[in-house]
């Protein structure tokens, strides 16, 4: 394939270049062009969603907001590893954060989206705390903020540099974006990348940014369910599509290009090998497309190693992310960094070190020297 797809401390200063949405713009553009009466709501919602996701203006380095959301008065007093969540309701507007509807420790409401967001933030916090000894997404106990019911049938979920935002979906193509735990974990993981490697959101670094979020989104779901690598689905966004769509999820990590094949949406265009890397100006240089290549490497590695994916493969990827990776790392650089991380943690003669190299060879990535 080539061309565009059918559908565009001493912590690093957080400065992602774009809103990181789970649904790529080219897929929304395809839905927006639909003229079928039975999908009129979906088409209208997609057109609205393309306009409603605006680039976030990130603060200048050194400003009081440059290190993320304002911390609450209790942020420094909570035990390490304990989340501090707040869920807001935008009430179908684009106002952020909206009305506070549930704070940490408060009982569940009758709103399913509020409950799913609250639980998903907790599950994400738990993975990073228990598997990687990381205290929230910034490593320093950052409170987790989310807004549900954003916009009018808004077809996306995103991390904007400060908080999570979830739309309700259009009901014809997409369900509520709180319905998939891998989506919640994926978007919050953009925050982890923001506070660590801060990978530039374009081209190969951008595809790695999306890849890292897919990795940790999948691990959040597996950790919460107690699934090992062999029994996991390795699907990102499973449950987002309505029953009208011929597809299981937005992406398949283990088999990129197979997540959906629908008369309306088309076929999943993700490549699974570097020979099929997509050179495109859409989607910030194909960040949601080419992420399929490293996704396959990671999922294959995790299955080959066996057991819980977060215990070996996940540790190697986490070590890579926090180990001084360049913000403009390409696939070859990232592959080399994971091999070095495997050697550092498990040894150069280890099964893990060998398996990482084999996983990258499978997808045609030659690590840089």
Q: Which residues are catalytic?
A: 187, 288
Distance CA 251, CA 24 (A): 11
Q: Do the Cβ atoms of 264 and 36 come closer than 8 Å?
A: yes
Strand partners of residue 252: 235
Instruction: List, in sequence order, every residue forming a beta bridge with 145; answer none if it has no partner.
Output: 86
CB 164 within 8 A of CB 83: no
Please give the angle made by the CA atoms of 188, 189 and 194, to the nearest 5 degrees: 100
The torsion angle over the Cα atoms of residues 57, 88, 152 and 252, rounded to 10 degrees, is: 80
CA of residue 216 relative to chain centroid, distance: 7
For 186, the token pair is 């994926």
Tell me which residue of 152, 204, 181, 144 sits closest to 47, measured CA to CA.
Answer: 152
* CA 359 to each of CA 278, 335, 356, 362: distance values in angstroms, whole numbers, following the listed order: 20, 9, 5, 5
Q: Is beta strand 164-166 parallel, antiparallel or unpaired with respect to 157-159?
A: antiparallel
Preceding peptide of 97 cis, ω within 30°: yes
Report CA-CA distances (Å) from 182 to 52, 104, 288, 320, 333: 23, 21, 15, 21, 26
Relative to beta strand 85-89, strand 144-148 is parallel
CA–CA distance, 132 with 357 (Å, rounded to integer): 22
Exposed e or buried b for every residue in 26-37, given b needs 16+ CB within 10 A? bbbbbbbebeee
Q: What is the dihedral of CA 155, 282, 261, 150, to 10 degrees?
A: -10
CB distance 123 to 144 below 8 Å: no
């Amino acid at each position: 394939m080539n061309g565009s797809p059918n559908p565009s401390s001493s912590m690093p200063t957080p400065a992602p270049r774009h809103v990181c949405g789970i649904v790529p713009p080219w897929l929304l553009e395809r839905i927006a062009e639909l003229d079928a009466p039975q999908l009129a709501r979906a088409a209208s919602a997609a057109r609205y969603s393309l306009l409603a996701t605006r680039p976030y203006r990130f603060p200048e380095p050194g400003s009081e907001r440059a290190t993320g959301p304002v911390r609450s008065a209790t942020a420094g007093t909570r035990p390490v590893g304990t989340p501090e969540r707040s869920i807001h309701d935008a009430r179908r507007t684009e106002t952020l954060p909206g009305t506070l509807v549930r704070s940490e420790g408060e009982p569940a409401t009758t709103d399913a989206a509020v409950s799913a967001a609250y639980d998903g933030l907790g599950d994400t916090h738990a993975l990073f705390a228990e598997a990687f000894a990381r205290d929230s997404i910034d490593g320093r106990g950052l409170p987790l903020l989310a807004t549900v019911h954003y916009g009018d049938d808004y077809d996306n979920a995103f991390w904007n540099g400060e908080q999570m935002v979830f739309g309700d979906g259009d009901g014809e193509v997409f369900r509520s974006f709180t319905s998939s735990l891998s989506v919640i974990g994926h978007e919050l993981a953009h925050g982890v990348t923001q506070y660590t490697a801060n990978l530039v959101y374009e081209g190969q670094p951008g595809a790695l940014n999306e890849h890292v979020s897919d990795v940790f989104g999948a691990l959040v779901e597996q950790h919460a369910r107690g699934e090992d690598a062999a029994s996991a689905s390795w699907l990102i966004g499973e449950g987002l599509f309505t029953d009208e769509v011929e597809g299981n999820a937005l992406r398949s990590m283990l088999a990129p290009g197979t997540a959906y094949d629908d008369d309306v949406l088309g076929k999943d265009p993700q490549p699974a090998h570097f020979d099929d890397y997509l050179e495109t100006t859409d989607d910030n240089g194909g960040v949601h497309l080419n992420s399929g290549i490293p996704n396959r490497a990671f999922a294959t590695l995790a299955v080959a190693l066996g057991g819980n994916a977060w215990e070996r493969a996940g540790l190697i990827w986490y070590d890579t992310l926090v180990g001084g990776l360049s913000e403009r790392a390409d696939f070859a650089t990232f592959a080399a960094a994971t091999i070095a991380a495997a050697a550092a943690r498990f040894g150069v003669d280890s099964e893990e070190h060998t398996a990482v190299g084999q996983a990258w060879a499978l997808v045609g990535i030659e690590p840089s020297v």
